[in-house]
């Protein structure tokens, strides 16, 4: 699975030359249905082609622009290794695709910027969490949402503790006993005890490498990170960790005995109360500040504030669009009851700029927004 970061979001929001094509599709992970992924994407590419030609783009230019998407159709390995959803972005100077841990309604949007509103749940405060899975045999990073979990590719890092330590005495200095049956019917080794102090410094150094890799990957993240591994490793990892959102409660035991789904379910019981408390605290803070000038539900005030980086916290409804235009040179918002040519969803715009300026966004149902409003914000100043 490709990890979509805030840095990627910034790149997608940069103005491209000419029209931009955004494609969203739910995908099958395994089984015979994976063939449907390719067929449905082919149909969406054809739909994008029709949109571009209807916009007056010459057929030869359309074919040149969509060529990366056509080449992707030939990559059988890509289509046989999907997550729950796929987002593809194409312009004359951009081609990006992301395999993501939740599905989408099939959608093709052709306009003067990439359409990213379907991605907002991935960046909202209750959108995702990470699981760092550490065993002697493997190091994995899982990205979870409420309903799904996928593995994130880790580059330039040793794949296991044994590989990282690179000496034979590691296994000899660790005693093991046979654990319970795994899901495959085999019995797994759980390591503990003697020799840990001798290896602690080496393990700490390795965890520093992991932390550095995660820092580069998650440098603008606020999502919780939960550690899964045998008990003696977690205190060592906490010493090496610099990620500010590491949860102080781990999943103990040998994680090799658990599937990704089992790990997800265990971690969800840890992070769900954190998400709920964070959202409830944010709603209470908004109600406390309402009427003071430090909070507002007026989109004409919220849009300029978000653009200027003044929004600390934003509640926004994914189900309600507020069409209009924002003139950044005049700092003016023009609202329209229905979408007019060149309009954009201004609630989407507010969420985007809040995220880009390190604010927190709760992309939720309208009934979860304070006072059942379409949008609400707390300002930094």
Q: What pLDDT tens digit does each residue of the chain (381 aa) get?
A: 566 777 788 888 777 778 999 999 988 876 666 678 888 999 999 999 999 998 899 999 999 999 999 999 988 888 878 888 899 999 999 999 998 877 888 899 888 888 887 887 777 656 689 999 998 778 899 988 887 788 887 776 667 776 666 644 444 444 443 344 444 454 444 444 444 566 788 888 889 888 988 888 887 788 899 999 999 999 999 999 999 999 999 999 999 899 999 999 999 999 999 988 888 999 999 999 998 999 999 999 999 999 999 999 999 887 788 889 999 999 999 999 987 877 888 988 898 899 888 888 888 878 888 888 889 999 999
Collapse the DSSP code of 27 into the 3-class scheme (helix H, G, I; strand E, B; otherwise coil) and give the result: coil
* β-bridge mates for residue 86, sequence order: 25, 99
| Cβ atoms < 10 Å from Cβ of 53 | 13
Structural class in CATH, domain 129-271? alpha beta
Mapped onto helix, strand or coil, the DSSP state of residue 165 is: helix
Contacts of 218 (CB under 8 A, 6+ apart): 5, 130, 225, 243
- Predicted TM-score (pTM) above 0.75: no
Q: How many CB atoms lie within 10 A of CB 238?
A: 13
Q: What is the dihedral sign for C-alpha 285, 347, 373, 315?
A: negative
Domain extents in the chain: 6-115, 129-271, 290-379
Burial class (CB in 10 A: 0-12, 13-18, 19+), 107: middle
CATH architecture under which domain 6-115 falls: 2-Layer Sandwich (3.30)
Spatial neighbors of 113 by CB under 8 A, at least 6 apart, are 13, 15, 16, 20, 344
Q: Which residues fall within 8 angstroms of residue 3, CB to CB, at 6 or more apart?
A: 143, 152, 153, 217
Superfamily of domain 290-379: Ribosomal protein L30/S12 (3.30.1330.30)
* Cα–Cα nearest to 109, from 29, 6, 12: 12
**149-152 β-sheet, strand order:** 149-152, 139-144, 129-134, 225-229, 251-252
Helix ranges (H only) for 158-195 are 161-165, 169-173
């Amino acid at each position: 699975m490709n990890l979509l970061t805030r840095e990627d979001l910034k790149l997608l929001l940069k103005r491209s030359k000419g029209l931009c094509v955004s494609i969203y599709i739910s995908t099958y992970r395994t089984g015979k249905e994976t063939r449907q992924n390719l067929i449905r994407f082919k149909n969406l590419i054809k739909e994008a082609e029709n949109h571009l030609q209807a916009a007056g783009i010459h057929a030869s230019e359309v074919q040149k622009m969509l060529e990366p998407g056509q080449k992707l159709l030939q990559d059988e390995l890509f289509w046989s290794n999907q997550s729950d959803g796929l987002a593809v972005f194409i312009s004359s100077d951009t081609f990006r695709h992301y395999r993501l841990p939740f599905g989408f309604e099939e959608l093709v949007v052709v306009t003067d910027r990439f359409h990213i509103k379907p991605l907002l749940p991935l960046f909202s405060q209750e959108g995702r969490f990470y699981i760092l899975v550490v065993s002697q045999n493997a190091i994995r990073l899982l990205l979870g949402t409420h309903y799904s979990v996928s593995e994130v590719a880790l580059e330039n890092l040793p794949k296991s503790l044994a590989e990282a330590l690179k000496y034979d005495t590691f296994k000899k200095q660790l005693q093991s006993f046979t654990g319970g049956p795994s899901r495959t019917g085999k019995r797994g080794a759980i390591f503990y005890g003697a020799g840990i102090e001798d290896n602690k410094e080496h393990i700490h150094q390795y965890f520093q490498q992991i932390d550095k890799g995660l820092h580069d990957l998650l440098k603008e993240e606020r999502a919780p990170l939960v550690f899964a591994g045998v008990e003696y490793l977690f205190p060592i990892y906490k010493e090496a960790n610099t990620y500010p959102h590491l949860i102080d409660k781990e999943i103990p035991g040998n994680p090799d005995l658990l599937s990704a789904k089992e790990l997800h379910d265990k971690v969800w019981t840890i992070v769900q109360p954190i998400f709920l408390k964070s959202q409830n605290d944010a709603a209470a803070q908004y109600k406390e500040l309402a009427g003071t000038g430090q909070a507002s539900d007026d989109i004409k005030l919220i849009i300029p504030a978000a653009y200027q980086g003044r929004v600390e916290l934003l509640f926004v409804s994914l189900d309600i669009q507020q069409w209009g235009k924002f003139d950044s040179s005049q700092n003016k918002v023009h609202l329209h009851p229905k979408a007019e040519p060149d309009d954009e969803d201004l609630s989407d715009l507010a969420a985007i700029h809040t995220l880009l300026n390190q604010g927190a966004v709760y992309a939720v149902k309208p009934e979860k927004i304070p006072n059942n409003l379409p949008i609400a914000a707390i300002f930094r100043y």
